[in-house]
Amino acid sequence: MHSLFVKQSSLIIKGLIIIIPFFYSSCSDDKNTIGTDVLEENMLLTVHTDSSTQCVAQTAYDSTIRSKRFAYMVGAYNDPITGSHKAGFINRFYFDSIHYELSDEYTLDSISFVMYDTSYYYGNESAAQTIHIAELQEDLKLSDYTNYNEQGILPSSIIESCTEISTQTYTPQFSKEKGFKYTFSQEYAEELYTRIQSIYQKDTIKSYVDSLLVGVFKGLYVYGDYADAAIIRYASPQIHIYTHSDTAQQTISLLPSPTSYTGDDMTEESVYIESLNIFQHNFSNEVEQSIGSESGLHYIQGHAGLKLELSFDNLDTWKDSSVVINSAQLHLPIQNIDNDEYPYPPILNLRVYNEAQELVLATLSVDFDSSEYVFNFHSFMTDLRNTTKTSSSYYFEIVVPDNNIIGNRVVIDEKDENQIKLVITYTK
């Protein structure tokens, strides 16, 4: 056993003596040319950068732009680039309780409409607002929400048939205690109170209603005028009815709808639908001319519903290529104007849809400075090369994140030497 171990050790030592000089001579080669003694020069892998993929852009108007849940936008402002914009909301109201005392023992004192401005605004927030309050004369139906949210169709007949109650001037306070408060005229208040009394039923114990929806009061349309002021986000619009008896005082509260629109298995009878926000615009001539055209300047703004649509002319040439794509980035050049007074959106959202209008990719810009936005496009390129579909099967758009209603806007400059570029780094 001992002699066998000695023989094996001798063989190992001799093997190491042969390997070490070879290893040492290999390590002395230039690190930057590893493998050049084995591969011929035309077989070496090299990294290339390509920006020849042509991109066509145009400004588009998205009429379905609306605020998030429980955001009530009212007011107007003038943008020196995009034009004049105004906002308002339509809202149905519900009792906050099924039990109130509305007998003749109680006398109406007053009815007030209140809403509270928050710190969110865009425009000249110190300017006085003109706020219109109108009563709806037509029911706000589920189909109105569906048409507006899914097809961008404004409920114009509802808006046009409203009966104006009052026009008020209000300077935003940005205070939870102050806010906008309007007391209806006594004549209107008494007529409305009579309507509300009529839907209550009385038993031996208490008054009650069968539905929390105030069916005899279809709701309010609250909106601003075109003006050089601001669009303000208000919270908690409510109607308070104040009554008293010989022994007690009572406040009946009508609250806004508590449920947002989803479009799925909703019915007229069973769902409480949130307010419907209305945005209207008088675009500048420059914006009007850019919508739907391939002009040198393009516009993106949440409030205005302005977004960028993209198409790529020769993207499919990469599908059959044998190269390995290392990275792909989309570059959007910015026209560097009035950023201090009108800040650009800090990030933008690239969204890609398939032929069925299903969202297949959503990615935020990864880099932003005063000259451009940059998006990662590599994942889409990988998916495109792994499918039989062509790039024309997809729809590309760039919007503010979540199609939100922030007022920040940016002008994309594609004139002269600036171009929207897809920069692809690949190895072959």
**For residue range 177-203, what is the model confidence (pLDDT) as tens digits?**
788 999 999 999 999 999 888 877 655
pTM above 0.85, yes or no: no
Instruction: Choose among 385, 410, 387, 415: nearest CA to 400.
Output: 410
Q: Which of 174, 256, 172, 182 is nearest to 214 (CA)?
A: 256
Per residue in 84-105, pLDDT tens?
A: 999 999 888 888 876 677 778 8
What is the rounded distance in angstroms from the CA atom of residue 370 to the CA atom of residue 379? 26
Cα gap 129→112, rounded to integer Å: 19
Instruction: Answer yes or no: are the C-beta atoms of 222 and 129 closer than 8 Å.
Output: no
pLDDT in tens, 293-307: 887 789 998 888 899
- Write out the DSSP string of 289-338: HHBTS--SEEEEETTTTEEEEEEESSGGGGTS--SEEEEEEEEEEB---S
* 83 Cβ contact partners less than 8 Å away, ≥ 6 residues apart: 281, 282, 283, 284, 287, 304
Task: Delimit the domains of the chain by residue range.
Answer: 2-37, 49-61+305-427, 72-283
| Buried/exposed 378-391: b ≥16 CB within 10 Å, e otherwise | bebbeebeeeeeeb
Instruction: Report the pLDDT value the prediction gives residue 2, as an integer from 0 to 100.
Output: 42
Please name the residues in contact with 16: beta carbons below 8 A apart, sequence gap of 6 or more.
Answer: none
Nearest to 309 by CA among 319, 299, 317, 323: 299
pLDDT in tens, the chain (428 residues): 444 444 444 544 444 444 444 444 444 444 444 444 444 545 556 788 888 887 888 999 887 776 655 578 899 989 989 999 999 998 888 888 766 777 788 899 999 999 998 877 788 889 999 999 999 999 888 888 888 777 778 888 888 999 999 999 999 988 877 889 999 999 999 999 998 888 776 555 555 555 667 778 889 999 999 989 999 888 889 999 999 998 989 998 988 876 667 777 777 765 667 778 888 899 999 999 999 888 778 999 888 889 999 988 888 888 877 888 899 999 998 887 777 777 888 899 999 999 888 889 899 998 777 788 999 999 999 888 888 888 889 999 999 886 677 778 899 887 766 688 899 998 98
